[in-house]
Amino acid sequence: SGFSQGETLHKEVFDIIDREADGSDSLEGFVLTHSIAGGTGSGMGSYVLEKLADRYPKKLVQTYSVFPNQESGTDGSGGIGVSDVVVQPYNSMLTLKRLTQCADCVVVLDNTALNRIASDRLHIENPSFAQINELVS
C-alpha cells in the first residue's frame, strides 16, 4: 500500500525535504498535492502529511486534495457512483482523518465538478486527464 511505501521510502523522501528546507531563507510551510481515493496519493500522501506535521510543527501545511469522481455513469444522471477500486471509501476516510488532524488548509479539487465544468461549460464530450489537469492549473 501507499502508506507502507511511505514508511519504506521515509529516509529518502525526508532527506530531500530536509535539504530543501535547510536551503530556504525563510521557510513558511509546505504544499502537498495528492488524491484521497487510493493508491500512492492517499497512502503515501497521508504518511508524508503526518510526518511533515510532526517534523515541522510550526510550519503551515496546505494541501490540494483531489476527491474522487462520484458520477454513477456516463449518462450524467448523478448520484453516488460505484468505485472501480473496492477500498476507495476506506482510503478516503483514512485520508480525511489525517487531513483534519495534520493540514492547516485543504483546497478541495472535486473530480465530479471538474468533469461537469469540462463537459458543460467547455463542451468537451469526454475530457482527458490532461484536459482536467489543465483546467485545475
Is pLDDT of 43 > 90? Answer: no
Mean local confidence (pLDDT), 8-29 = 94
> Considering the chain, what is the average pLDDT of its residues?
86
Q: Of 86, 134, 94, 100, nearest to 114 (Cα)? A: 134
pTM: 0.79
Per-residue confidence (pLDDT) for residue 24, from 0 to 100: 94
Is pLDDT of 54 > 90? Answer: yes
Percent of the chain at pLDDT above 90?
A: 46
Interatomic CA distance for residues 106 and 93, integer angstroms: 15
For 58-72, the pLDDT digits (tens) are: 999 999 998 887 765
